[in-house]
Structure 1
């Protein structure tokens, strides 16, 4: 692993130098230089992604979050530079003779003005804001809220690659859930495992109902925090039950007398 880490450090150093030079010289770059910078940066990006994929399964769980953060930081550096380079390439003449250094090979390549970068060639993305995702520890009652957020923010986000989504998923799963997922190296396999283990609806319904039954009563109308906490907890579990297809009228007759008792005397 140490040899792979050394190789990745060299790649990251080259990316930092190239992106810094791109930012400093972007306004003055010729189209020929932009073609060369673009080709080198894309090649470095591909090599770095390959290195990340080799290292990722070997990273200890306690270092995973820091590892993923560094991966995304370098992805951001690259994807923020590529669109500007493409603009400089597009501003050149119809035919450009460029000596493109393909990953340091020194091979001279004759090129015409490149076609615009599309999703079928190189997928470039705008710089995305860092997102603080909900952590899922393996508590069954938290699965639904976690997955609803993760699915909308990450899993259905077309700006992310499958590798991005998998890294975000691994970084968001901790505790018992993370232990169960360690043996899997494909996003779909991890999601299937988590859904099978934690997404079974009937146990979730039972946990919501048990949490409602176990709510602590509020003894005083002056206990504003307690009343607010009681209301928020009730609302959260009711929303959870409704999201699982359980209508309020199917369980309200059971809960209403109980919570009237919990608040008995509070408003009298």
Structure 2
């Protein structure tokens, strides 16, 4: 058996033991500070990599071990599994208790800081601004521009926040594949700029962004039953994607015929017939004509209280 593999395995087990001691110590404290919560979250992310490392090393050991000693190695694996899953479960339970509190603090603290900067002396005048919700981003290109602009105005350009606070809010705002993009970036003041730039480098891809917004326009929900809510959603979704395409410096001035065709194809038969009647009196219908028609149609249904 390779002594090097044994040493590697021992180092991994030692790291798990260190993590276990940290978790147990924080568990005994009952109440954790914000720094403790952030540290526990980061340590948990790192210890998850230990499990992969252990399995890789253990597989190599088991591949070269004598059959007579294989049962002993299976015990090694079982002992590590038991220790790993037990302590990570405890860590996750501890974090769950603070997750909601942590998110709420992020939202209110960021909103308050942003409000103070944006409103100047409004707080001294007794004006209470509404709380601005922190954006969430899970890696969808069609939501990137909205997330980026909101996060930049609330956090990135907020001079009332320190870099480490900005990094904390950034981590709290990311989910799914987006969170994985900055997973390996160190949680430090200097690390924030690296993390934000890494995220921008990944998603500030104009070609992909335009592609995804156009794809979303073609994939707008089809209305099977005419209701106010569904009609308004169709108009709102279309407008949102077009605004994003324009932000990406695409000229959509001559897109009206195509957009009218796509949008009309999403309408239920009754609304489509009414649109054909309405547009028959217009020599060259524009997209704005269609939007106005649909908004009026939605208002009509709303006024007559047709359920969505």
TM-score by length of 1: 0.55
Corresponding residue number in structure 2 for 1:162: 163
C-alpha displacement at 1:266, in angstroms?
4.3
Distance 1:217 1:71 in 2: 35
Corresponding residue number in structure 1 for 2:229: 225
The alpha-carbon distance between structure 1 residues 253 and 202, as it changes in their structure 2 partners (threshold 3 A), is: farther
The alpha-carbon distance between structure 1 residues 219 and 184, as it changes in their structure 2 partners (threshold 3 A), is: same
Structure 1 residue 241 corresponds to structure 2 residue 245: yes
| 3-state SS of 1:249 partner | coil
Matches within 5 A, 1:92-131: none
**Aligned counterpart for 1:265 among listed residues 258, 270, 273:** 273
Structure 1 residue 212 corresponds to structure 2 residue 212: no
Distance 1:162 1:175 in 2: 23
C-alpha displacement at 1:200, in angstroms?
0.4
TM-score by length of 2: 0.48
C-alpha displacement at 1:132, in angstroms?
3.1
Q: Is 1:166–1:187's contact at 8 Å kept on the other side of the alignment?
A: yes
| 3-state SS of 1:248 partner | coil
C-alpha displacement at 1:160, in angstroms?
0.7
**Aligned counterpart for 1:66 among listed residues 79, 87, 98:** 98
Matched pairs, number: 182
Distance 1:3 1:212 in 2: 50
1:145-199 superposed Cα distances (whole Å, 9 cap, x missing partner): 1111111011111111001000000111111111222101211222222122222
Larger RCO of the pair (alpha carbons < 8 Å, separation 6+) = 1
What 5-or-longer segments of structure 2 have no aligned partner? 1-18, 49-91, 110-128, 278-308
1:120-161 superposed Cα distances (whole Å, 9 cap, x missing partner): xxxxxxxx9975312111111111111111110111111110
Structure 1 residue 57 corresponds to structure 2 residue 45: no
Corresponding residue number in structure 1 for 2:194: 189
> Structure 1 segments of 4 or more deviating over 2 A?
1-10, 51-57, 59-73, 128-132, 216-220, 250-254, 256-264
| 3-state SS of 2:273 partner | coil
RMSD: 3.9
What 5-or-longer segments of structure 1 have no aligned partner? 16-47, 78-127
